[in-house]
Amino acid sequence: MQVLDGKALALKKRKGLAEKTAQLLAKQGIKPCLVVVLVGENPASQVYVRNKEKAAVEAGFESRILRYPETMTETDLLALLAELNQDLEVHGILVQLPLPPQIREDFVLEAIDPSKDVDGFHPFNVGRLWTGDPLRVPSTPAGIMALLEEYGINPAGKKAVVIGRSNIVGKPMAEMLLAADATVTVAHSKTENLAQVAREADILVVAIGRGHFIGPDFVKDGAVVIDVGMNRSPEGKLIGDVDFEAVKEKVSFVTPVPGGVGPMTIAMLLEQTFQAASETHPE
């Protein structure tokens, strides 16, 4: 069994990015700028936003966090996004989810300029991904594809099972594996005989949000297992959807939690922002 070390690969990618960023600034005078909009006081969001800011600054980016009260109106948020879309110095815009109930998430995501949509959630970017011509893509599945590539795991011709069908992980993951020529099954809470379906997978991606749900009976001998889950154990420890200790003897590769998929997500977000910045041409 080999551990897919997302922490190490993310560090390597961020270091490479810092070098490319220094070159972009020196040669073209462009400094990638990521703006994160945070509405309200959600404690988990505060932590995510701080981590993104730290990573962006370390890569040599300009990082702006715009904080607004829980009572912000949808109209004000849409007006802010219109301004950021026009601002030539802003390359990536990310609205931290969840939003308070008075603000419609779909309206907000659709108001971001697709080229600045570094989360890849705008329907334009979803369509580009599914038509095989991706522009900006969701960072978590992109990070998983980068991990597979790093360890020489080629999905072509393999049977892949993705458990979870969210717009941010499961669905784009399925499409990226399909684009890499895997034969893909997407499973979810209504799937019958889930363990049997999962056991068919050469590559099993689990994104359901239930601590240690996946044990050895869900895993084929020699499978590659990717654990996206981030859950709290009753003792308050961060745990994945996969019971790592219980499956590790059965699998060929597996991601740990923490240190697997999580760190790759931020690295890929920075890569998308760099991409957006390097495509701009100052007037």
The smaller minimum CB distance to ligand NAP, of residues 33 and 194, is found at 194
Q: Output phi, psi for 128, to 5 deg.
A: -60, -40
Binding positions are 164-166
Report how far Cα 1 is from the mean position of its chain's Cα atoms.
25
72 contacts ligand NAP (rule: CB under 6 A): no
Q: Please, which residues bridge with residue 94 across strands?
A: 36
For ligand NAP, the closer CB: 61 or 218: 218
Determine, following the binding rule CB under 6 A, whether residue 27 of this chain makes contact with ligand NAP: no
Residues 128-187 that bind ligand NAP (CB under 6 A): 140, 163-166, 168-170
Rounded least distance, CB 59 to ligand NAP, Å? 18
* Contact of 157 with 279, CB cutoff 8 Å: no
Counting Cβ atoms within 10 Å, is residue 232 exposed (0-12), middle (13-18) or buried (19+)? exposed
CB 32 within 8 Å of CB 274: yes
Whole-angstrom Cα distance, residue 142 to residue 153? 14
| Smaller CB separation from ligand NAP, 75 or 193 | 193
141, β-bridge pairs: none
Least Å distance, CB 88 to ligand NAP, is 30
Pairing of strands 203-206, 183-187: unpaired
Annotated binding site for NADP(+): 164-166
Q: DSSP secondary-structure letter at 117? A: B
Residues in the chain: 283
Per CB under 6 A, contacts with ligand NAP among 210-239 are: 210, 228-231
Within positions 95 to 124, which residues make up the interface with ligand NAP, using CB under 6 A?
Answer: none
Q: How far is the CB of 138 from ligand NAP (least distance, A)?
A: 9
Read off the tokens for 169. Answer: 């992980």
Contact 230, 250 (CB under 8 A): no
Given the residues 52, 158, 171, 220, the one annotated as active site: 52
Residue 159's SS3 state is strand
CB nearest ligand NAP: which residue?
Answer: 166
Active site residue 52: yes
As measured in angstroms, the least distance from the Cβ of 169 to ligand NAP is 4
Is 13 marked active-site? no
- Smallest gap from Cβ 237 to ligand NAP, in A, equals 14
Query: Of these residues, 5, 13, 96, 116, which one is catalytic?
Result: 96
Size of the site for ligand NAP (CB under 6 A): 24
Closest approach of Cβ 24 to ligand NAP, in Å? Answer: 26
Q: Exactly one of 5, 116, 117, 119 is catalytic; which is it?
A: 119
Q: Which residue shows structure tokens 């379906």?
A: 197
Query: How far is the CA of 249 from the CAs of 2, 31, 100, 223, 226, in angstroms?
Result: 10, 46, 44, 11, 15
Q: How far is CA 90 from CA 61, 77, 99, 112, 190, in A?
A: 11, 16, 22, 12, 42
The smaller minimum CB distance to ligand NAP, of residues 131 and 193, is found at 193
Q: Which of 63, 96, 255, 265 binds ligand NAP (CB under 6 A)?
A: 265
190 catalytic, yes or no?
no
Residues that bind ligand NAP (CB under 6 A): 140, 163-166, 168-170, 188-191, 194, 207-210, 228-231, 261-262, 265
Active site residues: 52, 96, 119
